[in-house]
Amino acid sequence: MTAPHPSPPPTPPQAAPLSPVPPGIRAVDGNRAALTLLLVQNVVSAVLIARGVPLGTALLGAFALVVLVGLTLFRDVIDTLRRDTRWRTPPAWGTALAAFVLAFLASRAFVVAVVALFPSAADSVPQFLSRGADLWALLLAAGVLIPFAEEVAFRGLLMRGHERAAGFTVAALTSTAVFALAHGAPASVAGILPLAYVLARVAQHTGSLWNSVIIHALNNTLAVGLGAFVAGRLPSDTAQATDLLQNPALKVPVALGSLLFGSVVLVVLHLWLTPRPDPQERSAPGPWLSAALVAVALFGLLAALATLPVFTQWASELRGALR
């Protein structure tokens, strides 16, 4: 009688292979893309407007050149974004609309707080006004096309690169700060800050860049549409409103109340729009600060300084001397 053969030891279960992290965007490339968009968009539109081109048409021309430069200088990086899940995930319209309403309220509350404390800050806010056929060009450019380009540059490239280097929180804060600063005028920066943070968080929460595009386009279209609607319908004499805001008994409570309201709404949005897990986060740890990012911040700071009375007066005197 033969002895039974010993049974082979059990094979340990093999670990499931890790899914490879898809190639991502470098932080420095996102910084360069954002800086390039700002320079091309602002310089081209300013040159066209100085030559008498209507605002809407000038912005359309700037957008066309932004696309041309982007596809030429950043073709590989944009192609990487096209393969990213943020680009391929469809929008969540309900989330986008709800986030837009809350972000709009927080944004306007912050603007009221700044204008209540510094009434002259309202004069430095750029007005996107046009009339006739150019109004439709303005609605298309400022309301849809430019928001799309800015979302690709700031939330698609810059923020995605910062997420890979430093994680969700740092990326949301850095993209918010530089995007708001790039708008220059202090009242504009105050209004853009909560909106920009929501744009960052909604992309991280839903995993779709298209939700940021929707919110940004809704905000700009509403601003341009309201500006066109009220133009010429409001009294030109704003002395009473200015006196009301300059009343020390009212301006501080109004500012604090507006700031408190906007902050509460922003906290609600922050708690709601939590980022969902993403293999790209911290997949390439490293520095996210570069000369291009510093240049974007300096661009905004210089634009803000240019709105101060001493600089506007100097510019007016310089124009008079050149005539």
Q: Minimum mean pLDDT among 66-70, 130-134, 157-161, 246-250: which range?
A: 246-250
Does residue 136 lie within any of the structural domains? yes
Name residue 123's amino acid.
Answer: D
Does residue 322 lie within any of the structural domains? no
Single out the residue of 90, 42, 84, 88 nearest to residue 63, CA to CA.
Answer: 42
87 contacts 156 by C-beta, under 8 angstroms: yes
Number of domains in the chain: 1
Does residue 4 lie within any of the structural domains? no
Does residue 17 lie within any of the structural domains? no
Does residue 282 lie within any of the structural domains? no
Residues 252-293 have pLDDT tens digits of 888 999 999 999 999 999 999 999 999 999 999 999 999 999
User: What does the block give as tokens for 24?
Assistant: 């991502």
pLDDT of residue 57: 94
**Entry pTM:** 0.86
Does residue 15 lie within any of the structural domains? no
Does residue 3 lie within any of the structural domains? no
Residue 78 above 60 pLDDT? yes
Domain assignment of residue 32, given as a range: 27-232+241-276+288-307
Question: Which residue do the tokens 């680009």 mark?
Answer: 87
- Mean pLDDT, rounded, for 17-46: 85
Does residue 320 lie within any of the structural domains? no
The secondary structure of the chain, three-state, reads CCCCCCCCCCCCCCCCCCCCCCCCCCHHHHHHHHHHHHHHHHHHHHHHHHCCCCHHHHHHHHHHHHHHHHHHHCHHHHHHHHHCHHHHCCCCHHHHHHHHHHHHHHHHHHHHHHHHHCHHHHHHCCCCCCCCHHHHHHHHHHHHHHHHHHHHHHHHHHHHHHHHHHCHHHHHHHHHHHHHHCCCCHHHHHHHHHHHHHHHHHHHHHCCHHHHHHHHHHHHHHHHHHHHHHCCCCCCCCHHHHHHHHCHHHHHHHHHHHHHHHHHHHHHHHHHCCCCCCCCCCCCCCCCCCHHHHHHHHHHHHHHHCCCHHHHHHHHHHHHHHC
CA–chain centroid gap for 81, Å, is 17
Residues 235-257 have pLDDT tens digits of 544 445 555 556 677 788 889 99
Within 8 A by CB and 6+ apart from 144, the residues are: 217, 220, 221
